[in-house]
Structure 1
């Protein structure tokens, strides 16, 4: 597997093309086994009951899987989510960053399928699992 974009290239791409995620989401590592992305949890990500909101976890999974695919195909800004499924399995720890560990399961010319496990940093048990399919536009 060839890495088309490393951590620094992906974070630069996000800062340039998606400035709305700056400061909250970032790519931590990229390698042949997959990608790890971080949600820097702050008050804006919390919901009543002292937990990270579902939309924040979904956004982390979507961003992480998008970046995992771009790490393989390069900066294709118009690759889009076509299907998504997320299972919320346990309550994340409030005030603790979340990490999404992603794997690209299939990378075709038109579609890519990937999954992500989301953990509260420092804990082994996942808080959510997500599977997504992305459409890759023609060159």
Structure 2
């Protein structure tokens, strides 16, 4: 299956549809059913103790799966998360960017399932794993 959107198109889409968070994320790699996204960590992403907060890591996984799906199906702004499960496995490094390695495991007509590993830059072991399911809006 060919990609419906490239990195430039996905970046423009995120800027237009989600300008409130678009500046936080950079798409680093894109292939069929695979996407790598960097979260540019800033002070507002940190929890007490100086590590990246859980809600911020959820956002990284969620945006990554969303963009990976759109790369395959095209710009469908109303694709929505229907389920998410996150395992926080170790403490993220203080104040460094995070990387999400995302794979689309299933891309159906109505549902898509993605799996993510989240890393702190400079750490070999993942800090979290997330599994997300998305509902894809019907064609009109």
What TM-score range do you get, normalising by the shorter chain? over 0.9
User: Is residue 57 from structure 1 mapped to residue 43 from structure 2 by the alignment?
Assistant: no
TM-score (norm 1): 0.97
Kindly report which structure 2 residues correspond to 1:34-113, keeping only aligned pairs within 5 A, or say none.
Answer: 34-113=34-113
Q: Take 1:111 and 1:73, find their aligned partners in 2: how far apart are those partners? A: 12
State the 4+ residue runs in structure 1 displaced beyond 4 angstroms.
none
1:22, CA displacement in angstroms?
A: 2.6
Q: Unpaired runs of 5+ in structure 2?
A: none
State the SS of the aligned residue for 2:86: strand
CA contact (8 A) 2:5 2:70 kept: yes
1:7, CA displacement in angstroms?
A: 1.0
State the SS of the aligned residue for 1:130: strand
State the SS of the aligned residue for 1:47: coil
Q: After superposition, give the CA deviation of every residue in 1:17-72 in whole Å (9 maximum; x if it has no partner).
A: 10001321222211135000111001000111121000000000000000011110
Aligned to 1:116: 116
Q: Take 2:80 and 2:35, find their aligned partners in 1: how far apart are those partners? A: 18
TM-score (norm 2): 0.96
Aligned to 1:20: 20
The structure richer in strand per residue is: 1
State the SS of the aligned residue for 1:117: strand
Q: Take 1:13 and 1:33, find their aligned partners in 2: how far apart are those partners? A: 18
For these two proteins, the number of residue pairs brought into alignment is 139
